[in-house]
Amino acid sequence: MSDQVKYVLDEAQIPKAWYNLNADFPKPMPAVLHPGTHQPIGPSDLEPLFPMDLILQEVSTERYIEIPEPVRDVFRMWRPAPLIRARRLEKLLDTPAKIYFKYEGVSPAGSHKPNTAVPQAWYNKEAGIKRLSTETGAGQWGSSLAFAGSLFGIDVTVFQVRVSYDQKPYRRALMETYGARCVASPSNETEAGRAVLAKDPNSPGSLGMAISEAVEIAAKDPAVKYALGSVLNHVMLHQTIIGEETIRQFELANDDPDVVIGCAGGGSNFAGLCFPYLGLQLRGGRSRRFIAVEPAACPTLTRGKYAYDFGDTAHLTPLMKMHTLGSTFMPPGFHAGGLRYHGMGAMVSHAYELGLIEARSYQQRGCFEAGVQFARCEGIVPAPESTHAVRCAIDEALRCKAEGKAETIVFNLSGHGHFDMQAYINFFEGKLVDLDYDEAALAQSLAGLPSIAA
């Protein structure tokens, strides 16, 4: 059918393995360092926080890692996710480009986050863990872990960044519906939270700070483990199910992407779509453009420094080499809460440093304009984070129009925005402003990066 819109796979075609880019990087990733000794850490250093199966995935260089059957069984609830040709958007833009999107909003929580929440909860359950602590920015990750916890009988405590807790009461209600306990961060429940509140009782919070609170809870109580929704290697690994499916779906479409796009907070949905394609390229396949899109108010790849830094504000995590704005950087309270993180996942940072991927940043109003344009022709209201990818896909399609090129573009529509309608209301009422970060605060935060002997 020449005018086909949806490319869907059968449940039996849910990938059986995750793809690990660490098997194909031309240069190995820099070691993760102990925060005290600055020496490379070993698996046992991470044991207070994670079950061993996940730690082994974190350090693995195996190309493919099998997806456990019980995890694939849960994935049958919504996977394979559809690949959709945005024909109406193409027509509206009058572009010769072909635009496709992989739609991850079909998951129960409404985004790509359950792709890693489910395996993380399952590996914890297998290790006998009954309680997990985590943080959430947009509320998407907290909802996803709450959902996964409810499937496997695990109690979940979620530290939700204050600004998002206030902006998104329905996300909180969703987490509670799945049985999780939700706490606004910074909170009085941890030393890290109390220290911040003492200095600024009205702190809007940040992902880095909420991570400190969740890590502290797990580090102090052997019965509790910690789960992270992005940034870490094993999260990137779990998300590659997105790209693995997409490769098969493009075979059905008899097409092949030239440009692959994802928004990037910690980097996991971008990595999930891109890494399987990047792997093909590194093993001798054709080259493509990979574009990570970040908010101009939190421009980790485009303005950050590639340096060792902590993953959290209170400096409880190991040191990772990544693109960072400094762990004390406090991004302004813009609406794409899931992109308000000071660092970028080490794998995405490494790929950027090796020149394998591109990055660009956008202000939020242009992103919402793109989100509305997309909703009006394709029907789906994108999450504020995902509007960054939509903006970039539209800009690339317009470039193709200007250059008269019929390129194939695919982007990850990482989630729907049904819980983010207040942001759209603000946009329609003209209340959404483009926010710039404070240059002096960024300089100060970067000056405070830990100094590590080369």
Ligand X SMILES: Cc1ncc(COP(=O)(O)O)c(C=O)c1O
Q: Which of residues 303-362 bind ligand X (CB under 6 A)?
A: 338-339
According to the binding rule CB under 6 A, does residue 141 interact with ligand X? yes
Distance of closest approach, residue 415 Cβ to ligand X, in angstroms = 3
According to the binding rule CB under 6 A, does residue 107 interact with ligand X? no
According to the binding rule CB under 6 A, does residue 160 interact with ligand X? no
First to last CA, the chain: 58
Distance of closest approach, residue 4 Cβ to ligand X, in angstroms = 26
Report yes or no: 142 and 160 within 8 Å, Cβ to Cβ.
Answer: yes
Classify 38 in phi/psi space as left (phi over 0), alpha (psi -120 to 50) or beta.
Answer: left
Distances (CA, A) of 394 to 100, 174, 390: 11, 32, 6
Of 273, 251, 229, 294, nearest to 102 by C-alpha is 273
Interatomic CA distance for residues 56 and 66, integer angstroms: 13
Q: Which is nearer to ligand X, 264 or 393 (CB)?
A: 264
Distance of closest approach, residue 273 Cβ to ligand X, in angstroms = 10
- Count of residues near ligand X by CB under 6 A: 21
Distance of closest approach, residue 47 Cβ to ligand X, in angstroms = 24
For ligand X, the binding residue among 265, 326, 331, 333 (CB under 6 A) is 265
Binding mask 203-242 for ligand X (x = CB under 6 A): ---------------------------x------------
Helix (H, G, I), strand (E, B) or coil at 10: coil
Of 418, 119, 127, nearest to 272 by C-alpha is 119
Q: Which is nearer to ligand X, 20 or 95 (CB)?
A: 20
According to the binding rule CB under 6 A, does residue 408 interact with ligand X? no
Of 302, 323, 290, nearest to 392 by C-alpha is 290
The residues pairing with 7 across neighbouring beta strands, listed in sequence order, are: 83
For ligand X, the binding residue among 51, 80, 114, 137 (CB under 6 A) is 137
According to the binding rule CB under 6 A, does residue 276 interact with ligand X? no
For ligand X, the binding residue among 51, 266, 279, 343 (CB under 6 A) is 266
For ligand X, the binding residue among 264, 282, 351, 409 (CB under 6 A) is 264
How many other CB atoms are there within 10 angstroms of residue 250's CB atom? Answer: 18
Segment holding 128, helix H or strand E: none
Distances (CA, A) of 153 to 49, 178, 179, 181, 241: 19, 11, 10, 14, 24
Q: Per CB under 6 A, which region of 28-36, 92-100, 132-140, 219-227 contacts ligand X? A: 132-140
Q: Which is nearer to ligand X, 253 or 348 (CB)?
A: 348
Residue nearest ligand X by beta-carbon distance: 338
Q: Which is nearer to ligand X, 167 or 268 (CB)?
A: 268
Report yes or no: 142 and 158 within 8 Å, Cβ to Cβ.
Answer: yes
Angle at 313 between CA 389 and CA 296, to 5 degrees: 30
According to the binding rule CB under 6 A, does residue 385 interact with ligand X? yes
Binding mask 45-84 for ligand X (x = CB under 6 A): ----------------------------------------
Distances (CA, A) of 218 to 46, 136, 157, 176, 364: 11, 16, 10, 20, 35
Distance of closest approach, residue 265 Cβ to ligand X, in angstroms = 3
Residues that bind ligand X (CB under 6 A): 111, 137-138, 140-141, 230, 263-270, 338-339, 383, 385-386, 414-415
